[in-house]
Amino acid sequence: MAPFGLCARLRSSAATSCTQDYFNSIALGICRQISTGTSDTFRHTDIEKRLTSPSHSSVDLESVRFGQTFTDHLLTVEHAEGHGWGRPQIRPFAEGFTIHPASTVLHYGMCCFEGMKAYLGVDGRGRLFRPDMNMQRLHRSSRRLHLADYDPGELLECLKELLRVERQWLPEREGYSLYIRPYMFSSSHSIGISRPTRSTIAVILSPVGPYFATGLTPIKLFLDERNVRAWPGGVGDCKVGSNYAPTILPQTTAQQLHGTPQVLYTMPSKDSSDADAALISESGAMNVFFLLDKEDGSGQQLITPPLDGTILPGVTRDSVLQLARHWWDCDVLEAHITVGALKRAAAEGRLREIFGCGTACIVQPIDGLVRADGQVLAAPFDASSITSMTARMTRALTDIQYARVPSDWSVPFDDAKIQDKELAGAEPCHDAVMGL
Ligand X SMILES: *Cc1c(COP(=O)(O)O)cnc(C)c1O
In the list 317, 343, 352, 430, the residue contacting ligand X (rule: CB under 6 A) is: 317
Please tell me whether residue 390 binds ligand X under the rule CB under 6 A: no
Please tell me whether residue 141 binds ligand X under the rule CB under 6 A: no
Residues forming beta bridges with residue 201, ordered by sequence position: 77, 184
DSSP codes joined into one string, 44-63? GGG-EE-----S-SS--GGG
User: What is the C-alpha separation between 28 and 276, in angstroms, rounded?
Assistant: 34
Nearest one of 403, 41, 428, 410 to 211, comparing CA atoms: 428
Judged by CB, which is closer to ligand X: 182, or 314? 314
Q: Which one of 28-36, 56-64, 161-169, 285-293 is the stretch in contact with ligand X (CB under 6 A)?
A: 285-293
Burial (0-12, 13-18, 19+ Cβ within 10 Å), 67: middle
User: What is the C-alpha separation between 84 and 174, in angstroms, rounded?
Assistant: 42
Please tell me whether residue 287 binds ligand X under the rule CB under 6 A: yes
Please tell me whether residue 314 binds ligand X under the rule CB under 6 A: yes
In the list 135, 145, 315, 366, the residue contacting ligand X (rule: CB under 6 A) is: 315
- Minimum CB distance to ligand X, residue 316 (Å): 3
User: What is the C-alpha separation between 436 and 425, in angstroms, rounded?
Assistant: 13
Exposure string of 373-384, with b = 16+ CB inside 10 Å and e = fewer, is eeeebbbebbbe
User: What is the C-alpha separation between 34 and 37, in angstroms, rounded?
Assistant: 7
Please tell me whether residue 117 binds ligand X under the rule CB under 6 A: no
Contacts 24+ apart (CB under 8 A), 388-391: 388/353, 389/289, 389/291, 389/302, 389/324, 389/330, 389/352, 389/353, 389/355, 390/353, 390/355, 390/363, 390/365, 391/433, 391/434
Read off the DSSP letter of residue 103.
B
- Minimum CB distance to ligand X, residue 251 (Å): 12
Judged by CB, which is closer to ligand X: 240, or 291? 240
Judged by CB, which is closer to ligand X: 210, or 314? 314
Question: From the centroid of its chain, how far is CA 345?
Answer: 28
CB contact at 8 A, 363 and 394: yes
- Minimum CB distance to ligand X, residue 102 (Å): 28
Nearest one of 320, 369, 330 to 346, comparing CA atoms: 369
Q: Phi then psi for 293, rounded to 5 degrees?
A: -75, 135
- Minimum CB distance to ligand X, residue 287 (Å): 5
Please tell me whether residue 10 binds ligand X under the rule CB under 6 A: no
Please tell me whether residue 286 binds ligand X under the rule CB under 6 A: yes
Judged by CB, which is closer to ligand X: 124, or 358? 358
In the list 90, 158, 208, 285, the residue contacting ligand X (rule: CB under 6 A) is: 285
For residues 255 to 284, the per-residue mask of contacts with ligand X, x marking binding by CB under 6 A and - elsewhere, is ---------------------------x--
In the list 251, 266, 310, 316, the residue contacting ligand X (rule: CB under 6 A) is: 316
In the list 115, 152, 171, 368, the residue contacting ligand X (rule: CB under 6 A) is: 115
Q: Crossing angle, helix 131-144 and helix 315-327, to 10 degrees?
A: 130
Q: Which one of 42-50, 308-316, 344-352, 426-434 is the stretch in contact with ligand X (CB under 6 A)?
A: 308-316
Q: Which one of 80-88, 187-195, 293-301, 309-317 is the stretch in contact with ligand X (CB under 6 A)?
A: 309-317
Please tell me whether residue 241 binds ligand X under the rule CB under 6 A: no
Judged by CB, which is closer to ligand X: 112, or 170? 112
Among the residues of 259-388, which ranges form H helices? 315-327, 339-347
Residue 91's identity, in one-letter code, is R
Please tell me whether residue 139 binds ligand X under the rule CB under 6 A: no
- Minimum CB distance to ligand X, residue 307 (Å): 11
Please tell me whether residue 312 binds ligand X under the rule CB under 6 A: yes
Please tell me whether residue 140 binds ligand X under the rule CB under 6 A: no
Judged by CB, which is closer to ligand X: 88, or 115? 115
Residues forming beta bridges with residue 74, ordered by sequence position: 91
Which residues, 357 to 386, sit near ligand X by CB under 6 A? 358-359
Please tell me whether residue 396 binds ligand X under the rule CB under 6 A: no
Q: Is 30 helix (H, G, I), strand (E, B) or coil?
A: helix
- Minimum CB distance to ligand X, residue 418 (Å): 27
Please tell me whether residue 188 binds ligand X under the rule CB under 6 A: no
Q: Which residues bind ligand X (CB under 6 A)?
A: 115, 239, 282, 285-287, 312, 314-317, 358-359
